[in-house]
Amino acid sequence: MRTEVIIIGAGPAGLMLGRLLELAGVDAIILERKSPDYVLGRIRAGVLEQGSMDLMDRAGVGARMHAEGLIHHGVELSFDGDRQRLDFTDLIGRHVMVYGQTEVTRDLMAARKAQTIYDAENVELHDFDTNPHVTYTKDGVTHRIDCRFIAGCDGFHGVSRQSVPQSALTTFERVYPFGWLGILVDKPPVADELIYAHHARGFALCSQRSPTRSRYYVQVPTDEKVEAWSDDRFWDELRARLNPETAEALQTGSSIEKSIAPLRSFVAEPLRFGCLFLAGDAAHIVPPTGAKGLNLAMSDVAVLADALIEAVSEKSEAGINAYSAKVLDRIWKAERFSWWMTSLLHTFPDAGAFGRRIQRADFDYLASSRIAQQSLAENYTGLPS
Ligand code: RFL
Ligand code: PHB
């Protein structure tokens, strides 16, 4: 079999890239290790920047997002119970949209007419310098697809980045000594907007998926086991980290999903190796505090799609030549913001009294400076691409 572009991974990056190529008439096949149900069962991001909303529209899949997504004009930060609302619309004239990654994925899956091969095992990338092709096994049979380009959109643990010789890759990484324990519950959100809370017991986040479905997180040590957290224990811990009024208003119930995600910052450089391009979590990871992971995946593939369309139609190789440097510039800015939000809002085992005072001073500066608030708002709602 032969195609122009093989996309590894049917997460939001792979599906969006596939959709943009399909609309441009570029032949592409997606290879995904898991089943469609498994992909749709993953509960992840919840916040879309304007650029991601625009891309959903460009991909022709924005209708349900506009009908069901919730526009948020600001967020609340809370530090040891002291509250500070940031009004993005007033500060920077922009807003974000609460629309779950699951729904983004569902919309992109539904729109796709071209081939996606699910349950593809043992995906291997070959000769991506000279004669690119990919092999995989399905139902015990090994297949080969030849192509011109390979897009590695297979997430942090995927095979694409691992196929690149170590000597060709430079990686930058920070692993944080904690993770997020998340819970999904069919109860109305505690507040209209998201609440990011710093507390001596650890960080907490009140998020949401709809007017009747809420998503909450608490910071836990890296080695924590999800089995150790009954719903009651989770709700008690969350209440303890919120200011008393918010804690009082919290509507609790039985969790419909509960999981722990480790926190990590990671960037690989460069993002092009001959005919192979890395995009999304395959290329970089941010801690979720800045709500940037999904949005970065979207901005990577917007650039990559244009570059591949241009190259496949033989117009120019300028886009594919510029891809790595162009997206890395934005990636590092999102890495910085996500690291800073994480540093401000979490408790660090080795912070000491000095580190805790610096966090407090950072919050007090933010609370008192419109310029500091504008900076946060500019980054949170999304830097221009
Ligand atoms: P994904 O979603 O990991 O998809 C990769 C796909 O590749 C498949 N795959 C393979 N396929 C074939 N062969 C192989 N060898 C393969 N190996 C893997 C996988 O099965 C999968 O289907 O990567 P992608 O598309 O780059 O998308 C990235 C986003 O998923 C991620 O950045 C966000 O979820 C991060 N994130 C958030 N981002 C935001 O922008 N806003 C948020 O509010 C936000 N909250 C979050 C988050 C991530 C979280 N977790 C669980 C890490 C909250 C959490 C808790
Ligand atoms: C979520 O709703 O899952 C969510 C929202 C904001 C974040 C991270 C996760 O910063």
Could you read off the pLDDT of 115-150 as tens digits, one per residue? Answer: 999 999 999 999 998 899 999 999 999 999 999 999
Q: Is 136 a catalytic residue?
A: no
Pocket lining: 48 vs ligand 1, CB cutoff 6 Å: no
User: Residue 365 catalytic?
Assistant: no
Q: Whose CA is nearest to atom 10 of ligand 2?
A: 291
In this structure, the residue with its CA closest to atom 6 of ligand 2 is 291
Tell me the pLDDT tens digit for each residue of 255-298: 999 999 999 999 999 999 999 999 999 999 999 999 999 999 99
217 is catalytic: no
Known catalytic residue: 196? yes
C-beta 101 within 6 A of ligand 2 = no
**pLDDT over 80 (residue 385):** no
pLDDT in tens, 187-227: 999 999 999 999 999 999 999 999 999 999 999 999 999 99
Which is higher by pLDDT, 34 or 43? 34
Q: Active site includes 72?
A: yes
Which residue has a Cα nearest atom 4 of ligand 2?
Answer: 46
Same fold, 5-72+97-173+264-342 and 176-263+348-381: no
Strand partners, 5: 28, 149
Which residue from 180, 205, 263, 292 has its CB within 8 A of the most atoms of ligand 2, so it is best to mutate?
205
pLDDT mean across residues, the chain: 96
What pLDDT, on a 0 to 100 scale, did the predictor assign at position 315? 79
Average pLDDT over residues 152-159: 98
For residue range 93-117, what is the model confidence (pLDDT) as tens digits?
999 999 999 999 999 999 999 999 9
pLDDT digits (tens, 9 = 90+) for 223-254: 999 999 999 999 999 999 999 999 999 999 99
Instruction: Decide if 152 contacts 13 (C-beta within 8 A).
Output: no
Please provide the CATH number assigned to the domain covering 5-72+97-173+264-342. 3.50.50.60
pLDDT at 43: 82
**Of residues 95, 112, 134, the one with CA closest to residue 14:** 112
Ligand 1 centre and the CA of 84: distance in Å? Answer: 31
Per-residue pLDDT at 336: 98
What is the 281 CA–ligand 1 centroid distance (Å)?
A: 6
> Tens of pLDDT along 163-178?
999 999 999 999 999 9
Nearest CA to ligand 2 atom 9: 45
The ranges assigned to domains in the chain are 5-72+97-173+264-342, 176-263+348-381
Whole-number Å distance between alpha carbons of 96 and 74: 8
Smallest CA-to-CA distance from 171 within 337, 282, 294 is with 282
Residue nearest to atom 1 of ligand 2 (CA): 46
pLDDT band at 384 (very low <50, low <70, confident <90, very high): confident
Q: What is the pLDDT of residue 156?
A: 97
The answer to whether 13 touches 295, Cβ cutoff 8 Å, is: no
- Ligand 2 pocket, 72 CB below 6 A? no
Q: 261 phi and psi, to 5 degrees?
A: -115, 130
pTM of the model: 0.96
Question: Residue 32 and residue 121: Cα distance in Å, rounded?
Answer: 8
Q: What is the per-residue pLDDT across 325-340, written as a single tens digit (0 to 9) for each?
A: 999 999 999 999 999 9
Ramachandran assignment for 259, one of left (phi > 0), alpha (psi -120 to 50 degrees), beta (any other): beta
Distance set, CA 40 to CA 12, 34, 43, 101, 276 (Å): 11, 10, 8, 9, 26
pLDDT the model gives residue 224: 97
From the CB of 199, is ligand 2 less than 6 Å away?
no
Tracing tokens 């080795």 back to the chain, one arrives at 350
Largest CA distance in the chain: 63
Residue 341 has pLDDT above 80, yes or no: yes
How far apart, in whole angstroms, are the C-alpha atoms of residue 184 and residue 171? 33
Identify the active-site residue in 99, 136, 176, 196. 196
User: Which residue in the list 288, 323, 326, 346 is annotated as catalytic?
Assistant: 288
Q: How many CA atoms lie within 13 A of 270 on its CB side?
A: 14
The arithmetic mean of pLDDT across residues 157-167, rounded, is 96
What mean pLDDT do residues 31-41 have?
Answer: 95
Instruction: Report how far ligand 1's centroid is from the alpha carbon of 368 (Å).
Output: 36
> Under CATH, which number does the domain 176-263+348-381 receive?
3.30.9.10
Is residue 44 scored above 90 in pLDDT? no
